[in-house]
Structure 1
């Protein structure tokens, strides 16, 4: 009997299922002008059971279709960015195929035109944990390279002598591009940033006190350059053409620069494909004037030297990537970057050598022609996965990266030695050939789990492997053939493995926010000079705690307290024990015995609405700095990086944004610094120096109409010191930019002029032990640029994820 009932029940269920008819529901989505509206999100809601809601996206022709729909009562809803949501009337579906009437979406642009207030993000924007430069749409940014943009940022200075980027007068910056650390440093990173144009950049973030989630590298903090990336549905992009001119104080005024940039993006519900390419060429000029003295018991010698270098730097870059939204919780991504730049330098240097021996004065001259041809190329690739866990805001991410950097450089030095009568007495011909290769593999995973709305835990692991090969050949022409007569050639191989783990715990109370973090990094490095058969092997573990505390006093008043420990490892080139010839009296050498420097950063900040006042103290031990050693007997200067004893750095910063009128707003930043440097054994003797300096930066924005605006900015840096180097003059510049929008903001015309007053150059002095040197440096300071930006496709904003990759502490170290 039970079997019969079971069979009858199955037959009835089968019959009911068979009787329930299913069919297809289709239709079309169009704009107000009856154009197809692709990629609209269409939902079919079952009124009886809303959990059975079906979703599809309209195709390129605006068509949609739901298949195998059961009979019942339904609602149709449509959403598209830039359009008002559509909520249809209830309708009945009998199971037979149904073609619904065409749906015409209403644009929100009309509403926006009526209620929008003309506004734009300020060029400088202060947030709780960082300072942001809003480069996109800023008039004064047009035509600038990223390096020139950084010079306008509050607290940032570009040291043209050592090719260092400093933040709050501290060196040791980690440079990131879209969350990926650039493994280059020194002259190499400045070359990359000089060939990266503002047309590629959306914003630049300055993070002075990163948490334990970030790599511990970077004494002064992190500069994260976020490139433009359109995240809208459909196909869209922008094209930018730029032309400009550069000038040097007391130098040539025919330095032209041109660039072209193309951004493309295509996004559907499951795919986001993006890419950009840039070509950039610019001419540059650099003049360095140097005066120094060398003394021996029997003779005093003074050198008056000048170095003039004119360069041309064409380069191009490309990026292509894709995100695949496999489900509502899982996203997979891949990204490939390519960069290629050439640098052609023609230089002329001269030295007046004055020798004083008793009452005798002898004058001689050295004239040198030098050339430099280099090519830099790098390729980076990233694969990443992000998966959202069942708990809200809980997720796990995984990244694996590969990077390859190559640099080929050929230097030539042809020197002529002249007597007082300008007659040639001797000559020399030298050349350097450099072949450098760097390979990096890195992987990381991050985990985030909120225990509650007020308690969150984060943890992660990372491992990176670096292999560098630097073949340096130094030769002199002798009897018609090239040979390593001076014994300076060197083959250097460096390998490094860093393994890291971190955890963060965040807790929120009614008036307090607390984050505690700890990062551990194990470093194993091995530098091997094949030529001299010298090996330096290091193996150490370092801990990097961090604490961030925020206290809400009231709606408009709050305090922030923070502490973090940071590390700066030597760059791979700095560890290379090569000796490079610069001129007959100047050489540059690497130091394989350089140690990492460690910094403890403390910061306190008071915030009142958008105003902020902060105080920062940094205790730096073993600071990596450039030191010049003078051999009085040979009168030769050797430039080398070494660990400096101890530095105490104090900084106070005041940020004051003001809204003067509806059309005029400004952001003002004031910084005061006190630096104290001490070393008991610098070049064999004690060194101590301290100084107070300050910096001022203001950015003014003027909105004349919805389509016409102007930006005026000014920055000022007072004389300052860093280690043995002292800047003896104030540096400042006034910049102006205007922007006109056409065709509903699809076309933007920008004109900008930097350093209108032609005041930005550098003068400094190094005086310690037997070194007494004055330096003046002129570089491209005045720039004028005109650009045309055309945007096409769907320009309505659609948010997308922001990701960081595992290349976050190595890229900044591949240069000198």
Structure 2
């Protein structure tokens, strides 16, 4: 009932807003035209104003689209001028044109804008960016002004992006493939999947400027990530003086959520100081149902398990730094970035056990509370300098990061008979999992323009990672906690990677070619102290890359890319300790996992810089895959990681943003893929599985007026195979409204995640001998209201190139290792 009332109020407001706009004036005519730049190319996002010819007062305005075209509609009868203006260009006037009963439509000749040299000395050109920008080697999602970021974390936003999926544990896939390398401001995170998920959950959406999707990276990037790179770029200061913003938000699903933050920037001629702080509190539930059959040669046992989990999480995320502009050619910067996450879980588990379906012979009732705390901080010192007027550049980065975590899990299991009476004494045990991760990295990058059409890029990098994962298992016996040495374990992992790379780029008349080669030396040592297992590896790999882009004509472009990549097992997957969900469900790591290697090919076609179609193929060897199996002797179900022999992946991706009208923009993405897994021996038999699947994502943006817009997005993912798992279809619809006030200093946003409450997963086994059904659900439908207020200087910065820490990182991404 609450949902119906809220949507009735919301749509009544939207209808009233749009109706008020429509009834204001009785309009009958239209004027259309096109804007060109100084090179006769289409000029997108130019400001076009309709003025009264009598006194030059403003009647209405619009922006030119990606093709430079504009259309002004619903114009009253009268005489009008057209004014076209972009910062840094001379204003152009057209007209007058009369709208009469006999002449209601005017198609104007193209208007060419000319640069204003005086203005260009003092300012830089600013244009509003579209939600999705397709570039030669990546897709950029400009989420900064999107209403769907309202109250969401970075992890929430990722699952809304074209071709991206996020599972319940926070693991990210791109175009149907796992193993994505997540970067923040161009820096690799080096974290385990669990630590990375915690970091992304504590990164507020309001702090993000854009997200880059790079499915086939070149040799200048770290070779990790078989399905590519996702680079999350945080906001940066663009103005002189002091400015900032204040954010506050509330959310409600089944429980209330809250978030807030403060951003401050101060920039002078020689210095730029910046910082932000965000806090979030989230209370939400999730549930897991596991129905399975334990088959042995003599009998069957049926398990029907229900798990209800209530989590309360507090997140803090902060960032700060300073840039010093030594001169026009050199900048040195220092920054730090940290997070803290703590919370409590209350997990109630009921397991019904019987030798017939739907009949209970006995049951286990468990109360499994836990609490946790994760903290992390990273420091960066960077330098960037221009060597000469030819364009030679050098940049250096030094990074240090430290992450700690602690989880305390308690398990209280009571055994009951069919009548609900105590069957045997309760079994109580607990575990603690303190973790430490220490990271050091340094890299240097160099750019040398050989001539106007040829450029050489080169760089070196070394990173050192140390992790200490301790697992302390204790049983409650004779009224005291006693350590279980057989189940406790300490796992140490050291890793050193040394890399060198070079890229050569050559531009021809209609063709661009980039050839790259990266070499990485890896030294790793995993030491399971309690189990006395040591796994040491030392190896050198070469990672070539090739990019070719061909302009066929003005509206048609084609491209080809190839790269070889590696995925090393994460620290959590290598740790052999056993992590219990309950008495009958657990997971453990595999210290003998080998790295996986992927060769990727992609062909792309672009029409009018708008419609983009890609066809890709990749083959991965020694595939690191989650394997969910049952133990018929112990009557348990467990998750581990194994190396499957090969994975062949085929995919076709179509991205098509459409400007339906001046007030309606549509961004659409369709990804069709086929993953084939093979291994000669899994549970004593050959294993092979594959299935065609598709992922459809669409976002509709409707502008009601100059201060109000609406976003509606839909997401559908069909049934698919992931390793040894079969996943049922998933789908959801999100909705958002943004209203700007106070001369656009304040934004009020209302958003609803999973409007129809359809999100959830159903998992079955792709192995015929395994019989289980897992259903997962969570608090997915959440109403969120947020307010952002911006204050301080709005002065446009000088044309002198600013190189703050984040901008320097952006350049280093383009030229660094």
Aligned-partner Cα distance in 2 for 1:311–1:292: 26
**Aligned counterpart for 1:146 among listed residues 128, 135, 154:** 154
Aligned-partner Cα distance in 2 for 1:613–1:769: 37
TM-score by length of 1: 0.82
Q: Which residue of 1 aligns with 2:203?
A: 196
Contact in 2 for aligned 1:586/1:636 (Cα 8 Å): yes
Q: 1:455 to 1:83 in 2, by over 3 A?
A: closer
Structure 2 residue matching 1:196: 3-state secondary structure: coil
Q: Which residue of 1 aligns with 2:802?
A: 800
Larger RCO of the pair (alpha carbons < 8 Å, separation 6+) = 1
Q: Which residue of 1 aligns with 2:645?
A: 645
Contact in 2 for aligned 1:502/1:519 (Cα 8 Å): yes
Aligned-partner Cα distance in 1 for 2:699–2:356: 52
Aligned-residue offset at 1:362 = 6.0
Q: Which residue of 2 aligns with 1:104?
A: none
Aligned-residue offset at 1:185 = 3.1
Q: Deviations over 1:660-701 (max 9, x none)?
A: 111111111111111111111122211111111111111111
Aligned-partner Cα distance in 1 for 2:331–2:203: 29
| Structure 1 residue 550 corresponds to structure 2 residue 549 | yes
Aligned-partner Cα distance in 2 for 1:614–1:796: 42
Structure 2 residue matching 1:431: 3-state secondary structure: strand
Contact in 1 for aligned 2:402/2:439 (Cα 8 Å): yes
Q: Deviations over 1:152-198 (max 9, x none)?
A: 111111111x5311111110011111112222232332222222221
Structure 1 residue ranges, 4+ long, deviating more than 6 angstroms after superposition? 81-85, 805-808
Aligned-partner Cα distance in 1 for 2:282–2:524: 38
Aligned-partner Cα distance in 2 for 1:639–1:139: 38
TM-score by length of 2: 0.82
Q: Which residue of 2 aligns with 1:222?
A: 229
Q: Which residue of 2 aligns with 1:316?
A: 316
Structure 2 residue matching 1:122: 3-state secondary structure: coil
Structure 2 residue matching 1:462: 3-state secondary structure: strand
Residues 551-630 of structure 1 aligned to structure 2 (within 5 Å): 551-609=550-608, 610-630=610-630
Q: Which residue of 1 aligns with 2:694?
A: 694
Aligned-partner Cα distance in 1 for 2:390–2:748: 44
- Aligned length in residues: 689
Contact in 2 for aligned 1:670/1:697 (Cα 8 Å): yes
User: Unpaired segments of 5 or more residues in structure 1?
Assistant: 1-80, 86-106, 247-252, 809-816
Aligned-partner Cα distance in 1 for 2:274–2:87: 21
Q: Which residue of 1 aligns with 2:62?
A: none
Structure 2 residue matching 1:803: 3-state secondary structure: helix
Contact in 1 for aligned 2:405/2:435 (Cα 8 Å): yes
Aligned-partner Cα distance in 2 for 1:189–1:195: 10
Aligned-residue offset at 1:565 = 0.8
Aligned-partner Cα distance in 2 for 1:405–1:126: 35
Aligned-partner Cα distance in 2 for 1:267–1:163: 37
Aligned-residue offset at 1:642 = 1.3
Q: Which residue of 1 aligns with 2:59?
A: none
Aligned-partner Cα distance in 2 for 1:658–1:580: 48
Q: Which residue of 2 aligns with 1:365?
A: 363
Contact in 1 for aligned 2:461/2:500 (Cα 8 Å): yes
Q: Which residue of 2 aligns with 1:523?
A: 522
Q: Which residue of 1 aligns with 2:175?
A: 168
Aligned-partner Cα distance in 2 for 1:777–1:646: 29
Residues 298-313 of structure 1 aligned to structure 2 (within 5 Å): 298-313=298-313
Aligned-residue offset at 1:328 = 1.2
**Aligned counterpart for 2:141 among listed residues 133, 142, 145:** 133
Contact in 2 for aligned 1:270/1:324 (Cα 8 Å): yes
**Aligned counterpart for 2:421 among listed residues 420, 423, 438:** 423
Q: Which residue of 1 aligns with 2:394?
A: 396
Q: 1:362 to 1:312 in 2, by over 3 A?
A: closer
Aligned-partner Cα distance in 1 for 2:401–2:160: 30
Aligned-partner Cα distance in 1 for 2:191–2:528: 21
User: Unpaired segments of 5 or more residues in structure 2?
Assistant: 1-85, 91-117
Aligned-partner Cα distance in 1 for 2:669–2:784: 26
Q: Which residue of 1 aligns with 2:20?
A: none
Structure 1 residue matching 2:200: 3-state secondary structure: helix
Q: Deviations over 1:564-603 (max 9, x none)?
A: 1111111112111212222221221111101111111110
Aligned-partner Cα distance in 2 for 1:668–1:489: 50
Contact in 1 for aligned 2:384/2:808 (Cα 8 Å): no
Q: 1:511 to 1:585 in 2, by over 3 A?
A: same
Q: 1:552 to 1:384 in 2, by over 3 A?
A: same
Structure 1 residue matching 2:786: 3-state secondary structure: strand
Aligned-partner Cα distance in 2 for 1:244–1:120: 29
Q: Which residue of 1 aligns with 2:673?
A: 673
Residues 379-458 of structure 1 aligned to structure 2 (within 5 Å): 379-426=377-424, 427-458=426-457
Structure 1 residue matching 2:629: 3-state secondary structure: strand
Aligned-partner Cα distance in 1 for 2:241–2:360: 76
Structure 2 residue matching 1:392: 3-state secondary structure: coil
Contact in 1 for aligned 2:689/2:766 (Cα 8 Å): no
| Structure 1 residue 179 corresponds to structure 2 residue 186 | yes
